[in-house]
Structure 1
């Protein structure tokens, strides 16, 4: 399984076979922090605030109702600094998310599906990646964001309780607690530089190569 919470779930539902945690790796050659001029160009291309104008927070991925993306707008509205909120991707919950943004009165932009080659600049352009989904088995987009130097504010539930290292690669908050979500955003934005440096320091540990090495160790152990 790709995370300890996912492995624990299997044990809880009665799987008695040996369960090993082998995280999926991130292509850290591709997901890397682009040069600053590429990040600025991405922001200009999508009519987003220039770096330093306003904090930029957001999410990209499938817009599914199970991901509880409607939790994001009220938390952003309650955060300090009036962040601009940006969404990449699409899905069945998109209109519900848009309505939540309007109800919260936040400055929100919807970019739709982005070409894969633009994703590193999207991640790197964010001051914080927001991830309220309690149903992830690992949450690869969180690791992709970290690999690009962007900390993640993630719900302390499901795999994100494991994937996000609170105070190191981002911040946790209790599921359904808007005030705590907003406080976690504030904390992350305040510590953004230190968190970003820690994310970049951990790139090797989240790489595909590291995952393959771990998988080889598991196979070696079970074939002895």
Structure 2
């Protein structure tokens, strides 16, 4: 098994899709006898074996995100990697490129997040267009320096192609830890958070960001006989709570949930609702499915393929609130059948399958 150095700007203690993917891939790679040292921005997370933290600054526009310098950190001078895998096009992604170039080893780049999509809330309206254009130019420049670009979905691959990237691009889903994410008894979770048992529970967990379009969920729930359950936190939370109060929607905001609690969170739900159009994979939707919970999701971005319409949930078109409401109702009405389909697909979306595909990709590059 080759030694693969992972360079990432998102890592523990921040919890998001990139952090989960990097840490899970590292653990599973080790289980197979390989090494995957991780280089990440210095934070409150103390580095363990095979972890290298480098000086960083807080990024003011995104909670939990830190910016590291793009030079190759001296902390990784002793790392002897056969291949570099960059999980960011910015600070430490550049450091990974410099390492790969200086050590004459292949560079793989994962395209996790379309950074241009976040320009709408990071900068003033007047600057959104130029910032989006600059972000896309930078992404194209960086990705063109990789030997291979991996995307977590075919939709994300198509987006990278649209950027004009001139290197091979392959879809490779990040995968779900199906040993952890499985149906569990959620009675204790329901009691702990005083969730009702006499009406359907429709939920979402993840970052409460404006780009996630969570206000569409609150509006769609206005005419549903259901309780909304939000896990996670973020800059839009206060406004979401206010919107729910104004519309008379029964919404429970649980705050940040430990990862160990997520299987119970998904299992207690009758439907998972996912209105975010900016996902490159929609990992939480796959986690919900692995726990037997179907998804009502927007027909945009990666969710257009992550949710299999009529099989693991239902789609609605972006911005169509009545369509969203209908998708939730259909998902609730057909929950038992959809849940069985979700459970039948667990092996297909597992991280074990993803790691085997990843190993094949690495070996082909090294050969």
Q: TM-score, normalised by structure 1?
A: 0.93
Whether the aligned pair in 2 keeps the contact of 1:78 and 1:179 (CA below 8 Å) is: no
Establish whether residue 20 from structure 1 lines up as the match of residue 20 from structure 2: no
Query: Which digits, 9 at most, give the CA deviation of each residue in 1:183-203, with x for residues without a partner?
Result: 000100010000011111111
Establish whether residue 41 from structure 1 lines up as the match of residue 191 from structure 2: no
Q: Shift of residue 4 of structure 1?
A: 0.7
Q: Shift of residue 223 of structure 1?
A: 5.8
Partners of 1:89 and 1:198 lie apart in 2 by 27
Match of 1:120 among 249, 263, 282: 263
Partner of 2:350: 207
Partners of 1:100 and 1:163 lie apart in 2 by 28
Partners of 1:44 and 1:32 lie apart in 2 by 20
Whether the aligned pair in 2 keeps the contact of 1:168 and 1:198 (CA below 8 Å) is: yes
Q: Shift of residue 76 of structure 1?
A: 1.3
Match of 2:303 among 142, 149, 160: 160
Query: Which digits, 9 at most, give the CA deviation of each residue in 1:141-200, with x for residues without a partner?
Result: 111101100001110001111111111111110010000000000100010000011111
Q: Shift of residue 136 of structure 1?
A: 0.7
Please show how residues 62-211 of structure 1 align to structure 2 within 5 Å: 62-79=207-224, 82-211=225-354
Q: Shift of residue 47 of structure 1?
A: 0.5
After TM superposition, the structure 1 stretch with the greater mean CA deviation from structure 2, 211-220 or 64-73, is: 211-220
Structure 1 segments unaligned to the other structure (5+ residues): none
Query: Which digits, 9 at most, give the CA deviation of each residue in 1:45-65, with x for residues without a partner?
Result: 100012xx1000011111011
Whether the aligned pair in 2 keeps the contact of 1:20 and 1:218 (CA below 8 Å) is: no
Question: Larger Rg: 1 or 2?
Answer: 2
Query: How many residues matched?
Result: 217
Establish whether residue 54 from structure 1 lines up as the match of residue 204 from structure 2: no
Query: Which digits, 9 at most, give the CA deviation of each residue in 1:55-109, with x for residues without a partner?
Result: 0001111101110111101111233xx0011101100000121122122211111
Match of 2:160 among 10, 22, 27: 10
Q: Shift of residue 213 of structure 1?
A: 1.9
Secondary structure, in 3 states, of the residue corresponding to 1:29? coil
Partners of 1:196 and 1:104 lie apart in 2 by 30
Secondary structure, in 3 states, of the residue corresponding to 1:30? coil
Partners of 1:20 and 1:207 lie apart in 2 by 18
Partner of 2:182: 32
Q: Shift of residue 41 of structure 1?
A: 1.4
Partners of 1:215 and 1:117 lie apart in 2 by 26
